[in-house]
Amino acid sequence: MRDDKIIQVAINSPLRRVFDYSAPKKHQTHDIQVGMRVQVPFGNKSVIGIVVAITDKTDVPAQKLKAISDVLDTAPLLPSHLYKLVCWSAKYYQYPLGDVLAQAIPALLRQGKEKNTLDALEKKKLTPHQTHGLIIPGPLLNAAQKNAVQNVTKQISKFHVFLLHGVTGSGKTEVYLQILKSMLANGQQALILVPEIGLTPQLLTRFQERLGLPIGVVHSGLTDKERLLTWLWAKNNELKIIIGTRSAIFTPFANLAIIIVDEEHDLSLKQQDGFKYHARDLAVRRAQLENIPIVLGSATPSLESLHNVERERYQLLELPERAGEAVHPLFKLIDLRRQKIKNGIATTVLPVIAEHLKQGNQVLIFLNRRGFAPVLMCHECAWVLNCSRCEIPMTLHQKPYQAQCHHCEKTQAIPKKCAQCSSTQLINIGAGTERVEEFLNKEFPHIKIARIDRDSTRRKGELEAKLATVQDGTAQLLVGTQMIAKGHHFPNVTLVVVLDADGGLYSADFHASERMAQLLLQVSGRAGRAEKPGEVLIQTHHPEHPLLNCLITQGYMEFVRQALAQRNKANLPPYHYFALLRAEAVTGSVCSEFLQAAKQILKTANNTVQLMGPAQAPVEKRQGRYRWQLLLATKNRSHLQQLLHHTLPLIEQLKEARKIRWSIDVDPLEML
């Protein structure tokens, strides 16, 4: 190979392009391969980039072409399949390749640390993930579980997507474990994705007890060193199983045999800031690139995944019954109209709670709203305490005693008088988990209550400690948000009370009813998971709502059938493909000007993609910045991709683009 080759390098920067360099003087061009790290001059500083191509051509004049300073690796950093996944995801989600590569590589390697300098002493950190050889045998599988395991294990070494739809308590995790056992017997590796850090410890413990081998974890709570060690161990086949949140999709493996995505419907699998990728969809693409099976598991599968079953792209595996002796809970709608309500709880519900507690059972009260009260209002003039940065009501908290915005986290002292009329008649409207806990403490003074939400579990170890009081029966009453709605096994919970089911029925976001149904069924699934029967009370002002009634009388799959029919009729995903061009600035007019200019570029370049807007976002102001958006919609995904590929570089060059923050969200899951 001649030494006048051009080395194209991706650099961690917001620019949608790669940069051309000549080979370094102390290296031959044939020493450099795609995927290696290189040190390069960039502006007035030296940075680390990744080689993405070696070519003969460049548009840079010879006298301006800079040379690579140093080559940091002797082989590509990422395995070829993983490198292809990174390139594909940058292209699909329309994000700079350098930024995506940076997210796929541990921070210490991005900083230029040598990946071979870790000494053997650090390998001792494997021991905390071991179970000292103790392996607990699992229960016998029922017929549906056996069928699921057999279907998956028949497809080893072949790309195949399975959607494992198991009702809550049906033993999906047991299916995962049996599949993994067959993989591990052949020395292969597995990746398990979970939506939240909170679900990682319990899965880790269960997998350790059953499999008796080292397991790695990947999530945002790791130090840079821990993340690098886990990354290297997986790459070198020293860890057979990795359990992690969405970023774990970029973990390299020596011998990956299967990917499992638990709670595949969960919104947390979609990155909402920066590089807006969906870990579930990338997992499917990775399985395809590596020619391995993937299992997507959920009690409430996403509409997109069930649509793929309809199109015969995914194979549906069903676990229709709860494992062991457990039976499905009984549902009942509580009509809140013309009924007295105390701190969010209907008075007719209180005797039911008391009866379950009297029998020695546990009761879960679910309210997806933390804090004491969501609104502080003046009784005289109806003034509301709003966040000055987001222009939405601030939530009142008791501990600490303050008002807090749950969008930007701004806090302030709770005022003693109205800012508009100076009246001291200020009233708390609505109830959050703090208020419900305070009320239940007075109603049931001899019952220990565990409140589980983001406020009560901020400190390290608090979540585990509170869950332990639930598991050992010390706490009989549970009050919590969606943190306790999924994944947890509480065998002694026989009653679940959902305090507010109406939030998702009339939202501006078309995803809201789907998420409402998923959350209701997930939290309801905490009831009656053992031999005791369960009961679920759902409080609502709309007991006649057709989707709500369909959900509790005919089940989730009928709800999905009706919801998909509505989506199809309205030209919504998954029948149409969306991208959302977002803009935010300190004034709304600047956002509007930018999006109007962008719309003109898009309109000139195409006649097949529908453009809607620009318009203010439903939540117009957040963190002191106004938010506007332009929606792109089409029936043809490739048309949307081609349009974005050709026009985003032009939009990037708009003079208005320098005055605002803007981003593109392909397949958006939040329209607010």
CATH at residue 651: 3.30.70.600
- Please tell me whether residues 130 and 100 are part of one structural domain: no
| Percent of the residues in the chain that have a pLDDT greater than 90, as a whole number | 57
Cα dihedral sign, 510-516-519-522: negative
Which residue among 567, 586, 614 closes a domain? 567
* 422, part of any domain: no
Total tally of structural domains belonging to the chain: 4
* 390, part of any domain: no
Would the pTM count as exceeding 0.75?
Answer: yes
Strands (E) in 277-418, as ranges, are 293-298, 315-319, 330-335, 341-342, 345-346, 362-366, 375-378, 395-397, 402-404, 411-412
Which residue among 567, 591, 610 closes a domain? 567
Q: What is the pLDDT of residue 296?
A: 98
Kindly report the CA angle at 406 between 404 and 411, in degrees rounded to 5?
25
For 269, residues 6+ apart whose C-beta sits below 8 A from its C-beta are 193, 195, 246, 261, 263, 278, 279, 280
* 138, part of any domain: yes
* 553, part of any domain: yes
- Please tell me whether residues 356 and 230 are part of one structural domain: no
Neighbours of 599 (CB within 10 A): 18
* 572, part of any domain: no
- Please tell me whether residues 295 and 368 are part of one structural domain: no
For residues 268 and 130, the answer to whether their CB atoms sit within 8 Å is: no
Alpha-carbon Rg for the chain in angstroms: 27
Q: pLDDT tier at 120 (50, 70, 90 boundaries)?
A: very low
- Please tell me whether residues 502 and 619 are part of one structural domain: no
Q: pLDDT tier at 198 (50, 70, 90 boundaries)?
A: low
* 640, part of any domain: yes
Half-sphere exposure at residue 247, Cβ-oriented, CA atoms within 13 angstroms: 21
Q: What is the pLDDT of residue 88?
A: 97
- Please tell me whether residues 220 and 249 are part of one structural domain: yes
Max mean pLDDT among 377-391, 572-586, 612-626 falls in 572-586
Q: What is the pLDDT of residue 199?
A: 64
- Please tell me whether residues 248 and 339 are part of one structural domain: no
Q: Over the stretch 180-194, which tens digit does the pLDDT of each residue have?
A: 988 888 889 999 999
CA distance 488 to 466: 12
Average pLDDT over residues 613-639: 92
- Please tell me whether residues 354 and 468 are part of one structural domain: yes
- Please tell me whether residues 105 and 132 are part of one structural domain: no
Q: pLDDT tier at 127 (50, 70, 90 boundaries)?
A: very low
Task: Give the CATH number of the domain where residue 105 resides.
Answer: 3.40.1440.60
Per-residue pLDDT for 489 more than 90? no
User: Domain range spanning residue 244?
Assistant: 121-319
* 325, part of any domain: no
Per-residue pLDDT for 117 more than 80? no
- Please tell me whether residues 156 and 292 are part of one structural domain: yes
Q: pLDDT tier at 2 (50, 70, 90 boundaries)?
A: very low
Per-residue pLDDT for 122 more than 60? no
Task: Give the CATH number of the domain where residue 266 resides.
Answer: 3.40.50.300
Task: At 422, give phi and psi (nearest 5°).
Answer: 70, 10
* 671, part of any domain: no
- Please tell me whether residues 618 and 543 are part of one structural domain: no
Q: pLDDT tier at 5 (50, 70, 90 boundaries)?
A: confident
